[in-house]
Amino acid sequence: MLSDFVLTDCSTLLQSFGTQLAPGGFAVFSDFAKAENAYVHHTAVPVALTTFVTISPSFAKGRFPETTLSDIVLKRGHMDRREAITLAAVCGERIPVEPDPNAEHFIAHLLDVIDRHGLDDFYGRQPDHPACYGIDVRPHGIDWTCHEANEKAVRAWRDAYRKLDPSPKILVATIMWLYMGRPDCGWLRGLPHRWHAADAISLLKASSSLGDWARLVALYQGW
């Protein structure tokens, strides 16, 4: 459970762009004029846009017409803890108030998402070659003993991606953006991944995957 102080802090952020969480835990407009016109700091855009999508996807797209999903995901590294907690909350998730020094919560959720959504064709564990925080999950297609691409494996990765439904595609791409820290890379180049944020978040919500996505992004601290 979040403390009253943290809930108040999150509520203040939501109110800054004209929204609030209703008693049922879903977002609603509290001041439509503010929602339309209030200044939103760049690090709060992921929270604002996601909140707006859960209320009205068309309003969200009109409010942030150029914002892609990769913009939202890659902004996580600039967000503070309050923004991360609020992003999770508007998607029905709760994350710890304090950052996890060992990224254990992120690793556990990442592995759970890969397992439950059937993403084993795209990511696996490389315990002998962990990245920062000891995260040993890596995309398939690289020989990590020499850090060289295996072209056959990368082609198989890309072929499998093409066959996915939209929501799993979004999860695969989100994990890749978090891993790479940039929007484009050899795995995704030329494949569908440039969704408008409002469209992608709407798809995730419709497939009951929004909570998994939001928790993944909110728990991320580096890779």
Summarised one tens digit per residue, pLDDT across range 150-189 is 999 999 999 999 999 999 999 999 999 999 999 978 899 9
Same domain, 83 and 187: no
At residue 143, the pLDDT reads: 82
Global pTM reads 0.94
**Do residues 20 and 75 share a domain?**
yes
Tell whether 163 is covered by a domain. Answer: yes
In a domain, 95, yes or no: no
pLDDT of residue 6: 64
Q: Give yes or no: residues 137 and 47 share one domain.
A: no
What is the end-to-end Cα distance of the chain in Å, rounded? 27
Reading the block at residue 26, the tokens are 């879903």
Report the domain count for the chain. Answer: 2
Asked if 9 and 76 sit in the same domain, the reply is yes
Q: 19 with 75, same domain?
A: yes
What integer is the mean pLDDT of 142-147? 80
> What is the rounded distance in angstroms from the CA atom of residue 122 to the CA atom of residue 119?
6
| Of 4, 55, 64, the residue nearest 27 (C-alpha) | 55
Q: How many Å apart are CA 164 and CA 81, to the nearest integer? A: 33
pLDDT at residue 129 tops 90:
no
At which residue do the structure tokens 């609020």 appear?
86
**CA–CA dist 215, 223 (Å, integer):** 16
Tokens read off for 186 = 């050899």
Q: Under a CB-based contact definition with an 8 Å cutoff, are residues 217 and 73 in contact?
A: yes
Domain of 137 in residue numbering reads as: 104-219
Q: Tell me the pLDDT tens digit for each residue of 11-26.
A: 999 999 999 999 999 9
Q: Are residues 113 and 81 in the same domain?
A: no
Whether residues 51 and 143 share a domain: the answer is no
Looking up tokens 């295996």 gives 150
